[in-house]
Amino acid sequence: MPSKDTVIKAEPSLTRKELVSILARKTGTSKRISGIMIGTLEELITTELKAGRNLTLSGFGTFYSIDRTARKGIDPNTKKEIKVPSMRLPKFRPGINLRKALRTTTSKKDA
């Protein structure tokens, strides 16, 4: 088991291109169709979050957004006070199946 101070290097990220290839292979569709499916999913998630609605994929997780109010901040370079505008930020809460899958993976690597 790694100590508390141990830095665990993350694996390289899966790119959109790789994701499209994997989806095409697993579904038996073309890369073009798989790219359209992924683009459509991204568009649906974005549209729902912009409208202030949540998008839940049962067992996988929930995409939701939060609204941050405007606030005062400090520019780290000049140390001057600045206004930080209000904004909506995307968030993701993993579902039980995803959490269980990651716990299982982690405990197998640590063993």
pLDDT tens, position by position, 53-97: 999 999 999 999 999 999 999 999 999 999 999 999 999 999 999
C-alpha span between 36 and 40 (Å, rounded): 6
pTM of the predicted protein model: 0.72
* In contact, 67 and 86? CB cutoff 8 Å: yes
Parallel, antiparallel, or unpaired for β 71-74 and 87-94?
unpaired
What is the structure's pLDDT at 65?
95
Closest CA to 94 of 67, 64, 68, 66: 64
pLDDT, tens only, 94-108: 999 999 998 876 545
Only one residue has tokens 């520019």, namely 75
Q: What angle do CA 47, 97, 64 make, to 5 degrees?
A: 25
What is the structure's pLDDT at 54?
96
